[in-house]
Structure 1
Amino acid sequence: MTTKKTTLKSVFLTGLLVLVPLAITLWVLGLIIGTMDQTLLLLPRSWQPERVLGFRLPGLGAVLTLAFIFVVGLLTQNFVGQKLVGWWELIVARIPVVGPIYTSVKQVSDTLLSSSGNAFRKALLIEYPRKGSYTIGFLTGIPGGDVVNHLKEEHVSVYVPTTPNPTSGFFLMVPKSEVIELDMTVDAALKYIVSMGVVAPPANQPAPERRTPVEPPL
């Protein structure tokens, strides 16, 4: 009887292991597609596909949004498109309140999304939140502005994400000598964080005896 219960439990857990990742993936995709579908509400009521077609087509908003992004990217790659974007940014930057917000968001998006950006290119190991306790963070650059004048030694900027939601986290300025660069891709580090340490990447080499400081991007 015990063996039978163990077998049933094993079969049930195996089914969960197969279905849970699939269910979560479909749920996340549903949220993304549903959110993108809401962009259709920005169109004038007479232009909305539901009124034109006479029925609602799930996912149409996502397709149109992706197509719009692609077209904008295609147009702004040429000289005329770049000039138009430059004029638009110049106008928006001069609008009170809106300008500083737009400029800040653009700087962050350029850093994160640009192929030449340096953000999140390195996974780091830092001693945080207390001595003897370590966590994984990502190199985002080096401190700048007046902050540098108040730091006694060279520091690097580190983003420490929370788990299981890495979109929130903490921004830290850590002494360069106390940061260890991991032999791990950013994707592998994110999986490690999101899984709360369950999905650990394989070690490529033995742990170093001494700390290896990270070289910040220039």
Structure 2
Amino acid sequence: MRKYFITGLLILVPLAITLWVLNLIISTLDQSLLLLPERWQPRVLIGYEFPGVGTVLTLLVIFLTGLATRNIIGKQVVYVWELLLARIPIVNSIYSSVKQVSDTLFSSSGNAFRKALLVQYPRHGSWTIAFLTGTPGGDVKNHLQGDYVSVYVPTTPNPTSGFFLMMPRADTIELDMSVDQALKYIVSMGVVAPEHLEQKLIVDPSAAESQEHRP
């Protein structure tokens, strides 16, 4: 009975958490309906609340915004809008910081989180997975002698928080795994190993046995 109970937990817990996260995302995006006039609300038009309408509306607005800003006129509007925001003292610092981070993370030409690295942290002899974010810039690089890289060391099991470090490139080891595989490995606290590591664990014993049977 204990084995059956654990098996049921392993099946239902991931499903329940997935549904809970989806419900949280949809309910959050549905709050965008509050921006519509009262007569355009689904509960007025249809007669009851229809979950997911706000999500579709939000995704549609994001898509149309990206579509409209791809042409020359849209780029000019964005340029004027950013110049306007640059003249507002507090808004300027917040907007520019957020825009730099978003451009780095979401731009197709960016290099952030493109490589998984193995680094020694928090002390020599302890290894953890980090992500390459670039190279030190500004006045920081003037005080660092040698080839340094900027890395992000996420925490476990919540990778959205972590530590920003600058270390010599020679002290990092580039891993043969994708960023998604590395994130799964971190979130699972090392329980869910990447596929190629599992294959090596399967192949290595047989290879060792074949070596033992050789004359």
| Consecutive unaligned residues in structure 2, runs of 5 or more | 202-215
In the alignment, which residue of structure 2 is the partner of 1:192?
185
Percent identical among aligned pairs is 68
What is the CA distance between 1:47 and its match in structure 2?
4.0
In the alignment, which residue of structure 1 is the partner of 2:113?
120
In the alignment, which residue of structure 2 is the partner of 1:12?
5
Q: How does 1:45-64 map to 2 (within 5 A)?
A: 45-64=38-57
Aligned partners of 2:117, 2:7: CA distance in 1, in Å?
34
| Consecutive unaligned residues in structure 1, runs of 5 or more | 1-7, 207-218
Aligned partners of 2:92, 2:166: CA distance in 1, in Å?
27
Deviates more, 1:53-62 or 1:118-127: 53-62
- TM-score (norm: length of structure 2): 0.87
What is the CA distance between 1:46 and its match in structure 2?
4.5
Match of 2:173 among 169, 175, 180: 180
CA offsets 1:139-177 (integer angstroms, 9 cap, x no match): 000000111122132211101111111111111111111
For 2:75, the aligned partner's letter is Q
For 2:66, the aligned partner's letter is G
2:122 maps to 1:129: yes
Aligned partners of 2:165, 2:3: CA distance in 1, in Å?
44
Match of 1:131, SS?
coil
CA offsets 1:126-147 (integer angstroms, 9 cap, x no match): 0000111011010000000111
CA offsets 1:19-78 (integer angstroms, 9 cap, x no match): 111111111111111111112223344543334433211111111101111111111111
Match of 2:79 among 86, 93, 114: 86
In the alignment, which residue of structure 2 is the partner of 1:159?
152
2:146 maps to 1:143: no
In the alignment, which residue of structure 1 is the partner of 2:61?
68
In the alignment, which residue of structure 2 is the partner of 1:100?
93
Aligned partners of 2:114, 2:35: CA distance in 1, in Å?
36
Aligned partners of 2:153, 2:39: CA distance in 1, in Å?
46
In the alignment, which residue of structure 2 is the partner of 1:110?
103
In the alignment, which residue of structure 2 is the partner of 1:216?
none
For 1:160, the aligned partner's letter is V
Aligned partners of 2:36, 2:174: CA distance in 1, in Å?
48
- TM-score (norm: length of structure 1): 0.86
Aligned partners of 2:83, 2:7: CA distance in 1, in Å?
57
In the alignment, which residue of structure 1 is the partner of 2:35?
42
Task: Give the superposed CA RMSD.
Answer: 1.7
For 1:133, the aligned partner's letter is S
Match of 1:97, SS?
helix
More helix by share: 2
- Residues paired across the two proteins, number: 199
